[in-house]
Structure 1
């Protein structure tokens, strides 16, 4: 009995990858061709290729090479495909086989041979064959993008998710939910019948003690005989709704792919129900919940009629759980005549895979930003995320720093060749370093010996207080996406505080906060009948008019009178010694009345203020009659004072030390609080 070992080939139409066939036993040449023809009718490319290769070994029929090259291309064995296409190009003496030359150049590109690929593709571009010339132009743009992109800048380290996640078959559609990795897999179970079409199961994995991904378990029995494969999975964090695609086949060709939803039910999920409102006569895959125009939406990829090309990206607005409005095409800014698949949306950013934009290889990952009304021009995400092979299925966790993607890049665990099958890869994006330097100052000069308290806003349990007797600088490293309350205090100074937010920071950032503390005034208790000088109230010579610079002190006195409604004061005015004594007496009375009127105009009862002019009878320095004094010394004698004559017994004021002709005079100024 002749045994055929067949493994299902799930087309990229659903997952983006394929499964391959194992070696065949010896069969006569013609039987190989007949079997190859049978497998061709069911699109079983792997088995078809195996039969053709066996037939070619028996009879070197060069007419078989183009078909074998195309099959290796479809099965993503780029190295073999390159070799076979080169044989076709070399054998074409006319040099007019632009199709073979284009495919050869593209395989060179996908095997990371950019220089050789460009040389071949330029010949195609310069040909008269419009179809292949236009395709060559796109590939050349991708090569130019690759060689001009510095692979060391902004590159993330992408590594395999490991043997417990990846198999020799294919793994697809990773998604992170509640710190667990959900994904689908076509891995064959031990003892499984290799001749049947196998289920694509939904699996999940948790981290073990070493933080590696543990052996996965099946999520639930979502599969039935009528829907034997689960294609893709995505979960709405907000609604706790899982979206999955169920796929049916006609032979091995996809017949239908529909989106279903399951609602979180305790620790499990409800039975899947079909999503209403999406195209029901087209392939619909890669569902992804998101938000546009303030509404919940579902992104997806579909080959529905009326699109831009093969598979386009769409969104549908959510009406209720499992029910969506008519789909809307994302437009030509994103969609191309080729395929756009695997959308992932987070915080206004859409990441998707496309082979219709300039790429490093086949499918590349691109990102676009939503500004509230439109999408930005898609940007290639660069090396690391992308490779010369196919890259798709990008997802990140809630914080946006750990993520996964799907790729058939070199390094996968493959059944055939180095690039046949998709694996899940993981990456870690470095969180930006956020430094905080707090400088404690007094009038912009270093102030040592302060205490700083820092903590997350509204979380007093996170507060941390630090003292620094020898320096005036405090340094911290902050975390991303948080708000910090910062308070600085020092004995003898009023405390001050500020707030720092670290949301939406994408690059290393340094916050520099300078806090100038205001010294507390030296407090002295002033009792009843003790004169208090209004320090900033001065008058021009021979004038009783209130100067503009005097108003702050009078305004403060007004506030004090309001604060203490029972307080009655004497408001006195003094002149310098120049001029006639009688004149000075009258002038000082007018000045006192002028100050009183200012307060009365502010609403203070006139009975609470006694205006008294003392003339030159109470000089503060030695500038008596005929003394030689400066104008400033004379001005120092021209002043207004007040004292409490009834009401509160004391108030608090600060001291101001001034010098007057070699003698220290302790004068009082009204610039602080009263009690």
Structure 2
């Protein structure tokens, strides 16, 4: 009996030892999930990591990885999502998240493979995933080829080991955002105990930094903005009216008690916009923007137009295309109008945040949805309200593989502030000053005269350069390689023409440096033949953005030249011939090239070209200009050479014995797509 009793006791103890840890683990998981639901990711991470060590599951692994993603810890996010992918039954969307972390860590090829794997696993989303994969090529090229005219310097006087970002000039100094621990002068050494569970740091506050010296040199006197602006929760970022007397800023949108539901202890309030007016040198109590709804959506990151009549901001209110979008509201004189979405040119299904309007009206904002180097990238666009040009990525070094945001330009439009969590900073987010050196631009035209039949260079051909502004004329003789070169002046229109002997007719092309903001070498090629023959002639090439077929702004001048060419030589017909590089599927490339040719044709027809004299055709990857076939090792520039639309003369009236062939394109062309 004693032995049976002893065995029973041992069995019971074993059951307790087995069950109690599981119960404790279950309690821990429930607590972590509650932190997760309330966005207290800092605390959730600690518990999820312990649970993963003892009882790993795909659900816990995904939430842990998400926590690292939400807190911008791309190093740990990469590891965590790699773990998620080892579990059976994981959601394929984790391939996208994993790729995003890899991209932020500068691992572009691995990120590209992960995007393409998602495309295979989820065919309905393959087109979007392929665009993201192609974007990895752009990211690498932009990062490896930074604008050397721009210098970025960490502003150590602003920055701490916490987050510091979005400075704006104010009085003799600046207003900026920080979640540092700050000792108030009247508090006699005590620090705020309020911690934000998302980051584990104090809540964001608006600070005023005044220059100790007459010029900004990093020596700052720091004060906390008054309680009328900073309360117990988040405050910032901010924007000022032109007179400096009205401050618009983001803060936690805690509504009036009358609007609170009965049970509100577990509610997570969204962000909201408030504004405060300075009266007699003192800030009055902040007033809520009329379209805040902190129970439903966030309204944040205010940015005023220079005239103060339009307020831009980021929000996930109804009417978004997905995530956070840029909206605007107009000052009617009696209040702010109902917000409107800035449109699909600016906004995507991902986040567009941190708008800023430069004094010349140019809009800057950060996005995850357009093609980026890594996380948030800064973009610019011209226009207003709902009408904008296609956004331009500011590329490196303004943008990095991490999050780049909160840009501000000084009056010279060449210098300003930028915020980023890029490597090498002091804290989570740091403030940087950027400066762009004025560009010393040069212009030239270089070219070659060759025989159309075999491409052999032609020596001794006289080539003329005519300044259309002054009528001045220069001439050169092509050398043994058929080559020639002229230097050009800025803001000038030119004609380049070649005079040949009796076996050849005269040809010419138009070049203009007007409106050109980059140093440019124009390449001209005269493909000449005997007068009694008619030939195909290549005119100016145009290039395209990644995986797109729309006509870019930089292509429009080239298309205008084609229009002028057709008008001046009415006895020719022109065929638009579009090509891609060899990467990607051949069938897809053929379709893309046909769309590009049709897009160029449509543009010319809308401008008045004669449809009877114009045709369009796509050739896909069948007519490469070099050896960059499938699997060949080629540079980005080699592949870009194959991505083109050519304009060729396909029919010449006998009256016209020869039509010139010439290519005009910058020596530093814009990045094109991978197709």
TM-score bracket, shorter-length normalisation? 0.5 to 0.7
Shift of 1:110: 1.1
The answer on whether the counterparts of 2:343 and 2:387 sit within 8 Å (CA) in structure 1 is no
The answer on whether the counterparts of 1:200 and 1:228 sit within 8 Å (CA) in structure 2 is yes
Name the CA distance, whole Å, in 2 between partners of 1:64 and 1:228.
Answer: 29
Name the CA distance, whole Å, in 2 between partners of 1:319 and 1:97.
Answer: 48
Shift of 1:229: 2.4
Gaps of 5+ in 1: 1-26, 415-420, 436-503, 510-675
Match of 2:303 among 288, 293, 299: 288
Match of 2:51 among 51, 55, 71: 55
Aligned counterpart, 1:69 = 65
Shift of 1:33: 3.0
Q: SS where residue 255 of structure 1 aligns? A: coil
Aligned counterpart, 1:3 = none
Q: Rate the CA distance shift 1:308–1:433 in 2: closer, same or farther, 3 A.
A: same
Q: Rate the CA distance shift 1:218–1:169 in 2: closer, same or farther, 3 A.
A: same
Shift of 1:184: 1.7
Q: Deviations over 1:42-67 (max 9, x none)?
A: 22111011112133345566763332
Q: Which moved more, 1:367-376 or 1:382-391?
A: 367-376
Aligned counterpart, 2:666 = none
Q: SS where residue 206 of structure 1 aligns? A: strand
In the alignment, structure 1 residue 262 sits paired with structure 2 residue 266: no
Name the CA distance, whole Å, in 1 between partners of 2:60 and 2:384.
Answer: 52
Question: TM-score, structure 1 length as denominator?
Answer: 0.53
Name the CA distance, whole Å, in 2 between partners of 1:313 and 1:61.
Answer: 38
Q: Deviations over 1:232-272 (max 9, x none)?
A: 20012246321112214677975143322223445443332
Aligned counterpart, 1:313 = 326
Aligned counterpart, 1:220 = 226
Shift of 1:433: 6.8
Gaps of 5+ in 2: 1-22, 184-189, 197-201, 255-263, 443-514, 521-675
Whose Rg is larger?
Answer: 1
Match of 2:245 among 240, 246, 268: 240
Match of 2:338 among 308, 319, 326: 326
Shift of 1:299: 1.0
Q: Rate the CA distance shift 1:50–1:129 in 2: closer, same or farther, 3 A.
A: farther
Q: Rate the CA distance shift 1:245–1:100 in 2: closer, same or farther, 3 A.
A: closer
Match of 2:159 among 154, 166, 170: 166
Structure 1 residues 333-352: aligned runs within 5 Å: 333-346=345-358, 347-352=360-365
The answer on whether the counterparts of 2:38 and 2:268 sit within 8 Å (CA) in structure 1 is no
Name the CA distance, whole Å, in 1 between partners of 2:28 and 2:151.
Answer: 45
Shift of 1:221: 2.2
Question: TM-score, structure 2 length as denominator?
Answer: 0.53
Q: Rate the CA distance shift 1:154–1:177 in 2: closer, same or farther, 3 A.
A: farther
Higher strand share: 1
The answer on whether the counterparts of 1:277 and 1:325 sit within 8 Å (CA) in structure 2 is no
Q: Rate the CA distance shift 1:430–1:258 in 2: closer, same or farther, 3 A.
A: same
In the alignment, structure 1 residue 203 sits paired with structure 2 residue 217: no
Q: SS where residue 354 of structure 2 aligns? A: strand
Shift of 1:118: 1.3
Aligned counterpart, 1:274 = 288
Aligned counterpart, 2:437 = 430
In the alignment, structure 1 residue 188 sits paired with structure 2 residue 181: yes
Name the CA distance, whole Å, in 2 between partners of 1:251 and 1:398.
Answer: 47
The answer on whether the counterparts of 2:229 and 2:286 sit within 8 Å (CA) in structure 1 is no
Shift of 1:183: 1.0
Q: SS where residue 393 of structure 1 aligns? A: strand
Q: SS where residue 216 of structure 1 aligns? A: strand
Shift of 1:135: 4.7
In the alignment, structure 1 residue 140 sits paired with structure 2 residue 153: no
Q: Which moved more, 1:237-246 or 1:113-122?
A: 237-246
The answer on whether the counterparts of 1:42 and 1:251 sit within 8 Å (CA) in structure 2 is no
Name the CA distance, whole Å, in 1 between partners of 2:140 and 2:36.
Answer: 38
Structure 1 residues 441-520: aligned runs within 5 Å: none
Shift of 1:224: 6.7
Match of 1:392 among 401, 405, 412: 405
The answer on whether the counterparts of 2:342 and 2:385 sit within 8 Å (CA) in structure 1 is no
The answer on whether the counterparts of 1:229 and 1:248 sit within 8 Å (CA) in structure 2 is no
Name the CA distance, whole Å, in 2 between partners of 1:364 and 1:102.
Answer: 18
Q: Deviations over 1:23-78 (max 9, x none)?
A: xxxx9755543432332342211101111213334556676333222221222211
Name the CA distance, whole Å, in 2 between partners of 1:363 and 1:413.
Answer: 19
Aligned counterpart, 2:102 = 108
Aligned counterpart, 1:366 = 379
Q: Deviations over 1:444-477 (max 9, x none)?
A: xxxxxxxxxxxxxxxxxxxxxxxxxxxxxxxxxx
Match of 2:366 among 341, 349, 353: 353
Root-mean-square deviation over aligned CA pairs: 3.5
Q: Rate the CA distance shift 1:119–1:61 in 2: closer, same or farther, 3 A.
A: closer
Structure 1 residues 533-548: aligned runs within 5 Å: none
Shift of 1:129: 4.1
Shift of 1:216: 1.9
The answer on whether the counterparts of 2:158 and 2:431 sit within 8 Å (CA) in structure 1 is yes
State the number of aligned residues.
Answer: 402
Q: SS where residue 48 of structure 2 aligns? A: helix
In the alignment, structure 1 residue 411 sits paired with structure 2 residue 415: no
Name the CA distance, whole Å, in 1 between partners of 2:115 and 2:420.
Answer: 25
Name the CA distance, whole Å, in 2 between partners of 1:343 and 1:252.
Answer: 31
Name the CA distance, whole Å, in 1 between partners of 2:337 and 2:194.
Answer: 42
The answer on whether the counterparts of 1:155 and 1:383 sit within 8 Å (CA) in structure 2 is no
Name the CA distance, whole Å, in 2 between partners of 1:372 and 1:220.
Answer: 33
Name the CA distance, whole Å, in 2 between partners of 1:220 and 1:241.
Answer: 14
Aligned counterpart, 2:563 = none
